[in-house]
Structure 1
Amino acid sequence: MVAAAQSPAPVFVLNSLDGNVSVIDPLTWTETKRIPTGKEPHHLYLTPDEKSVIVANAASDSLTFIDPRTAKIQRTVSGILDPYQLRFSPDMKWFVTAANRLNHVDIYRWDGLNATLAKRIKTGKTPSHLWIDSKSSTVWVSIQDSDELMAIDLGTQAVKSVTPVGKMPADVFGTPDDKLLLVGLTASDGVEVYDISGAQPRLVKKLPTGKGAHAFRALGDRKHALVSNRVANTISQIDYTSLQVVAEFPGPSGPDCMEVTADGKLILLASRWAKKLTVVDIATRKVIKQVPVGKSPHGVWTLDHAPRQ
């Protein structure tokens, strides 16, 4: 007897102003339920082992762990101070949070179950997004209102460098070879590209994408990344070998975080001002569906995703 095919994993959309997560059925494109979280959740993160989707509840100083296939709450972890943005190292030995309101980055040791604070590092004004290299050695932090990029050594928890960048840096994205870092400039019209292979980051290109360049997502082919342009209401596809914009997609109503489906056919986009999940067909470059969700949708994640690099 042939076993029935496993149904697709749900899509999770974080509703920042409602304090909950919309669970979307990717077959019917309908919301099946909402999962309550803490106050002011801003970002979601799928752990590298893909066993949990974590919601960072900034105003509740907590994390909500959700099963990425059953959409059931696994547990809540308290005592994580102002977790605005979050990231695990690929080897899952380190867990890092950016305290957006409190101007610090927390580095935790992770034993597979518990986070133990290793060091709290003061930053400039408004640490925003995080990226950790493939070797699990360095975390890169955008400092939004100080217009800086900070690098921290995970093993020693020492600050390696602080580099001036363009206006209001938001998301950061590293290429698979750890040589380049892309920085989205929300108060500008594009992305700055830095060579991070040396002791100090070196600006190699300013790449126009659209006003309000904000959040990245890998297309999954190890050649391209997407960036959402929040003011321009577009999504740009960046070839990070040639450092050129090679395609543009619609990104209606304040595009923010994105996901790319495992088959590489769809972009799932949080349209923050419209309270909708927008589905974009990559081949036709057209919006094919919008799903109503909660207020100020932010993070979008699913277990059935394209490769992260």
Structure 2
Amino acid sequence: MTARPRHPAAFLLALALLLAAGCSTADPAPAAIAPVPHAARPVADPGLPGMAPVLDPHNVYAASGANMLSDVARTAKPLVYVPHTRSGDVWVIDPATFAVVAKYPLGAGELQHVVPSWDMKTLYASDDTRHKLTPFDPTTGRPGTPIPVTDPYNLYFTPDGRSAISVAEQRKELVFYDPHTWAVQDVLPTPDCAGIDHADFTADGRTAVFTCEFAGRVAVVDVATHKLLRTIDMPKRNMRMGPQDIKLAPDGSVFYIADSDQNGLWVLDGAATKVERTIPTGGGAHGLYLSRDATRLYVTNRHEGSVSVLDAYTGAPVTKWRIPGGGSPDMGNVTADGTQLWLSGRYDHAVYVLSTVDGHLIHKIAVGNGPHGLCVWPQPGRYSLGHTGITR
């Protein structure tokens, strides 16, 4: 700390200069005290070149708060898109009335997820068996001409928006594309990552972690170079339905990894080097979603028909919501205003709408066969990292 001037007048002058410069003579407060408002200055290190700066090191989702819609997202028609793995169609639901307003047959393939593009201008229905993405215009809710893409079980975008990543589960590959032309940029083989499917990125955007569902491990990838850095085995390698969804804690300190056969979460350190512990949640832990203020983590327990609510920073259990009559809650997201959690009922031809206030079932909607990566649109945030709407 700078020594204070001995003369009172000199001290007062120095203090005035410090305050005018926006500084303080007090010791800096710990980074974890309170979230910085959305309008606060970005942190000094913007992370991956080309990535939008992190606004708050205590909450990387600070730009994705309730109703913080970008100008592009505001043009979208509020709709919920439900892809089906077995009936090969996307159903569209009006969230205001809970009515199915459209059904789009897209072939005989397996439609896995509806994924918002990095710039939020397009939604893509991924079909891994017919190797295509079907773009949807979010301003109309209608599909366009399919795009040939290799085995897109899932789809992500690098935080700088320079690449789309097709998670080619069957091929054990990550295929990097130009997100505008869909020309192949690179192919990264991941031979030790059977069942590669879900991903998230470190707070600085420099590293991606992909789960390997059928290998009981994760693959850690350098985003800029498209290189595999390492694989990390889970302490117990569940290789039938093992690591699936993954979510970065708001402060970037850890990754939460849902493991269906573990009936809970693995906790990976934020640098993606080691597994620190496990958190029991419920039978068939599968999907991970954050509340709009990023204080709560919702874990879908697909085999027991429940949702565990955890503290998003510590992983401590808060409560558990059970779907009346049971169910198979899988993938989905929280509404833009944060009041509802929409989830596909993977094995029950249903979509569930839960209150995020107390977890009660607001509505259950009958849909097609095998509803999977449901997308609630629009979503708050500056850009999308993919999946069913990971935004920052």
What is the TM-score of this pair, normalised by structure 1? 0.91
Query: What residue identity is the alignment partner of 1:21?
Result: V
Cα distance in 2 between the residues matched to 1:36 and 1:98? 23
% identical equivalent positions: 23
**Matched residue, 1:162:** 231
Query: What residue identity is the alignment partner of 1:71?
Result: G
Cα distance in 2 between the residues matched to 1:217 and 1:48? 18
CA-to-aligned-CA distance 1:98-132 (integer Å, 9 cap, x gap): 2222222222343x343423123233222121223
Q: Does 1:221 pair with 2:289? A: no
Distance 1:108 1:229, change over 3 A: same
Q: Does 1:51 pair with 2:51? A: no
Q: Does 1:139 pair with 2:208? A: yes
1:262 to 316, 326, 336: 336
What is the TM-score of this pair, normalised by structure 2? 0.72
Counterparts of residues 106-145 of structure 1 (less than 5 Å): 106-110=175-179, 112-124=180-192, 125-145=194-214
Answer with 226-235 or 96-105: which moved more.
96-105
- What is the SS of the residue equivalent to 1:283? coil
Q: Is the 8 A contact 2:83 2:113 kept in 1?
A: yes
Cα distance in 1 between the residues matched to 2:189 and 2:250? 27
Cα distance in 1 between the residues matched to 2:275 and 2:317? 18
Q: Is the 8 A contact 1:123 1:143 kept in 2?
A: no
Q: Which has the higher strand share?
A: 1
1:88 to 148, 151, 157: 157
How many corresponding residue pairs?
301
Give 5+ residue unaligned stretches, structure 2.
1-73, 382-390
- What is the SS of the residue equivalent to 1:35? strand
**Matched residue, 2:138:** 68
Q: CA RMSD in A?
A: 2.0
The offset of 1:134, in angstroms, is: 4.4
Counterparts of residues 128-207 of structure 1 (less than 5 Å): 128-165=197-234, 166=236, 167=238, 168-197=242-271, 201-207=273-279
Cα distance in 2 between the residues matched to 1:196 and 1:108? 27
Query: What residue identity is the alignment partner of 1:215?
Result: G
Q: Which has the higher helix share?
A: 2
Q: Is the 8 A contact 1:219 1:226 kept in 2?
A: yes
Cα distance in 1 between the residues matched to 2:76 and 2:247? 31
Distance 1:72 1:103, change over 3 A: same
Query: What residue identity is the alignment partner of 2:185?
Result: L
Q: Which structure would you say has the larger Rg?
A: 2
Structure with greater contact order relative to length (CA < 8 Å, sep ≥ 6): 2
- What is the SS of the residue equivalent to 2:129? helix
Give 5+ residue unaligned stretches, structure 1.
none
The offset of 1:306, in angstroms, is: 5.5
